Structure 1
Amino acid sequence: MAQERQRWSRQVTESSNALDLETGVFTLDNPREIALALMRSAERSDRRKAGPFRSAMSMLSFYINRAGRQLSAPQRQLLEQAKDELRALYGKPRRQS
């Protein structure tokens, strides 16, 4: 059963109408670099259904949610900062703390 769930999330990442992601995008250690990589992927992808911002933000949220407890606190914080960077890149308001 656990294997099926892992396969499900991998299948979503690889074959859904989401994004064609750059390799290792979520392992970068700079939130701005993560946001820029997601932005590039969203702008280039022809597999997305929504606009580039929504697609990039959705993929980032999907990754955070699927990683769950296996994501360390520093890595989660880095990815949350990447959300703010992504908002800034697209001229969207940053979330309130």
Structure 2
Amino acid sequence: MRSATRMAMPETKKRWVASVKTDSTHPEAGLFKKDAATIARRLASREVSPKGPASGMRMLTYFINRAGRGLPRSRRTELERAKRLLSDRVRRARERRQRAAKRR
């Protein structure tokens, strides 16, 4: 049985985000259609993610969430692989910063 709240809500196909407007990130068109290594490398770059690789990780997660169920399984698998590669880059960058801070 459906709840009263659920029954009162109209069934719509409205997407929760129709467009993305940001000044902080600049991915090129078609980036998320490429292979995992390329996606991770580009999202870690300063020209795409000026705030660092962690910003690229958030962008990739946002893209996957935004695509939702419409994202084919093969594409999701490749994007999840890119997340793992990018996560490794984020971890290495964090470790480098920590080592540099200890030297000071």
Q: TM-score if structure 1 supplies the norm length?
A: 0.69
User: Once superposed, what is the RMSD of the aligned Cα atoms?
Assistant: 2.5
Runs of 4+ in 1 over 3 A off after TM superposition: none
Structure with larger Rg = 2
More helix by share: 1
**CA shift in 2, pair 1:53/1:74, >3 Å:** same
Residue 34 of structure 1 aligns with which residue? 39
Residue 25 of structure 1 aligns with which residue? 31
User: Aligned letter for 1:44?
Assistant: E
Distance in 2 separating the partners of 1:9 and 1:52 = 26
CA drift of 1:56 comes to 0.2
Distance in 2 separating the partners of 1:39 and 1:21 = 11
Aligned residues between the structures: 82
Gap runs ≥5 in structure 2: 1-11, 94-104
Where relative contact order (Cα < 8 A, 6+ residues apart) is larger, the structure is 1
Give percent identity, aligned residues only.
31
CA drift of 1:88 comes to 2.0
**CA shift in 2, pair 1:62/1:55, >3 Å:** same
Distance in 2 separating the partners of 1:45 and 1:34 = 11
- 1:13-56 alpha-carbon deviations (Å, 9 max, x no partner): xx22441112211001x21111111122xx1258x6xx312210
- 1:50-85 alpha-carbon deviations (Å, 9 max, x no partner): x31221011100100000011011110110000111
Residue 89 of structure 1 aligns with which residue? 89
User: Aligned letter for 1:76?
Assistant: R
Distance in 2 separating the partners of 1:23 and 1:80 = 19
